[in-house]
Amino acid sequence: MSDWQKILHESVDTLDKLADRYGSDVIDVDALQPAFDNFQMRLTPNVLSTIKEIGDPMWQQYVPTVQELDIVDGVIDSLDEDGDSPVPNITHRYPDRALFLVSPVCASYCRFCTRRRKVGDPEKIPLNQFESAFQYLREHTEIRDVIMSGGDPMMLSDRRLEYFFQRLREIPHIEIIRLGSRITSHLPSRITPEFCEMVKKYHPIYMNTHFNHPAELTPESIAALGRLADAGVPLGCQTVLLRGVNDDPQIMKELMQKLLKARVRPYYIYMADQVAGGEHFRTNVEKGLEIVKALRGWTSGLAVPHFVIDAPGGGGKVPLLPEYVEEINEDEVVFRNYAGERYVYKQPRQPAIAVAGCGDAAAAESDIVPIQVGKKPKPRKKPVARKRKTGT
């Protein structure tokens, strides 16, 4: 057993163990049992180390609550991933990329998980049905980019991961392989030197990490991210906007800045999905827009991810932006900058098309006003009326 597997075994994965650790007055095992039965629980030592007090943002992400049983607008498969699944373990929604579910398990289980209907259950992400998935990927030459996910693909052994990398690299039209993984937050010791050596043979391999709160960027996590970056794995981060966890512009700003420092490019902030069991985590959309507004312009553009809603029912990711434009017409665009100051951008004028004998291209070009963003444009000189020659 490798070191990371031994560490995984030290996780808290039953309600009784949780009650032992935090007290049975805090953990009501009987009351939480239905939530646990619905979606399993596991907190790795790394996750446990980030919980500083009961009910804090880290606690909320991983400890089951009876609120998970209140289903209002929640849907089991809120993104209709199964509807876009042509063969087991593949979801093909976008034109040139496909999701490939390769692992049914995660190191820790996030209570808001969109895929909680499947994750943790090997019967629902079958490990013996990959041939039809490889065949589908081979036959669909439009697929350039495969996102290995699950569960967490980094829960597989290096041997198994290498098998997937090799099989995917045998398919010429697959250019990019991505790993969707929360392992650098849950179990950073999984990023071993051996894995880092192995992965170099199959580049380009990207990793989409998942961090929701600055407290998750422990020294161990930052070191693991560094090992991946040194191994040539470009790192992005997906963050889910969660009530009571990170629905605060200052927390999000700190998270994005810390990620960037750890060599991770923030990629998405997602609105929490309308998933059954995770509804108590949802904020309103205005909160996300407020957060993006507090990032854009106030910190490096590298630290500003796209804010998206993954459209319920399988519509895909739709980006949302705060309102900056006040007016747009054929002459100008009136907008406010990040600090709320008003500016005008002049629309380009269409130059007249020079036609031999009927126009003067140079004169038409001189009619274009230089664009001056953020400054009041100088008034254009009126053409001086030429004196008409009298002819005598």
Minimum CB separation from ligand SF4 for residue 49, in Å? 17
Among 18, 47, 63, 119, binds ligand SF4 (CB under 6 A): 119
Q: Which of residues 149-188 bind ligand SF4 (CB under 6 A)?
A: 151-152, 182
> 144 an active-site residue?
no
Looking at the Cβ atoms of 113 and 255, the one nearer to ligand SF4 is 113
Per CB under 6 A, 281 contacts ligand SF4: no
Number of helices followed by number of strands (H, E) in the chain: 13, 12
For the beta sheet containing 145-150, the strands, ordered from the edge strand earlier in sequence to the opposite edge, are 90-94, 97-103, 145-150, 176-180, 205-210, 235-241, 265-271, 306-311, 316-319
Per CB under 6 A, 115 contacts ligand SF4: yes
Per-residue mark of binding to ligand SF4, 211-250 (x: CB under 6 A): ----------------------------------------
> 380 an active-site residue?
no
Minimum CB separation from ligand SF4 for residue 268, in Å? 13
The one catalytic residue among 13, 62, 110, 268 = 110
Minimum CB separation from ligand SF4 for residue 113, in Å? 3
Eight-state DSSP code of residue 217? -
Is the C-alpha dihedral spanning 333, 334, 336, 337 positive or negative?
positive
> 268 an active-site residue?
no
User: Which residues partner with 345 through β-bridges?
Assistant: 333
Contact 102, 89 (CB under 8 A): yes
Among 18, 51, 102, 113, binds ligand SF4 (CB under 6 A): 113
Per-residue mark of binding to ligand SF4, 132-151 (x: CB under 6 A): -------------------x
Contact 107, 42 (CB under 8 A): yes
Residue 208, C-beta contacts closer than 8 angstroms, at least 6 positions apart: 147, 178, 179, 180, 181, 236, 237, 238, 267
Query: How far is the C-alpha of 237 from the C-alpha of 182, rounded, in Å?
Result: 9
> 310 an active-site residue?
yes
Minimum CB separation from ligand SF4 for residue 237, in Å? 13
Looking at the Cβ atoms of 119 and 199, the one nearer to ligand SF4 is 119
Site size toward ligand SF4, by CB under 6 A:
9
Looking at the Cβ atoms of 46 and 293, the one nearer to ligand SF4 is 46
Contact 103, 152 (CB under 8 A): yes
Neighbours of 359 (CB within 10 A): 12
The one catalytic residue among 42, 62, 77, 97 = 97
> 345 an active-site residue?
no
Looking at the Cβ atoms of 239 and 293, the one nearer to ligand SF4 is 239
Query: How far is the C-alpha of 230 from the C-alpha of 196, rounded, in Å?
Result: 8
Which position has the token pair 């992965």?
Answer: 199
- As a dihedral over the C-alpha atoms of residue 49, residue 54, residue 57, residue 63, rounded to 10 degrees, the angle is 80
The one catalytic residue among 93, 124, 227, 263 = 93
User: Which residues partner with 234 through β-bridges?
Assistant: none
The one catalytic residue among 42, 115, 118, 190 = 115
Minimum CB separation from ligand SF4 for residue 122, in Å? 14
The one catalytic residue among 116, 268, 273, 282 = 273
Nearest 5°: the CA angle 152, 157, 163 is: 95
Looking at the Cβ atoms of 119 and 276, the one nearer to ligand SF4 is 119
The one catalytic residue among 42, 106, 152, 268 = 106
> What would the 3-class secondary structure string for 136-172 be?
HHHHCCCCCEEEEEECCHHHCCHHHHHHHHHHHHCCC
Alpha carbon 253 to chain centroid, angstroms: 15
> 237 an active-site residue?
no
Q: Which two tokens stand for residue 271?
A: 């609105």
> 42 an active-site residue?
no
Per-residue mark of binding to ligand SF4, 93-112 (x: CB under 6 A): -------------x--xx--
The one catalytic residue among 17, 317, 336, 346 = 317
The one catalytic residue among 13, 113, 237, 247 = 113
Minimum CB separation from ligand SF4 for residue 201, in Å? 26
Residues serving a catalytic function are 93-94, 97, 106, 110, 113, 115, 273, 310, 317
Site residues (CB under 6 A) for ligand SF4?
106, 109-110, 113, 115, 119, 151-152, 182
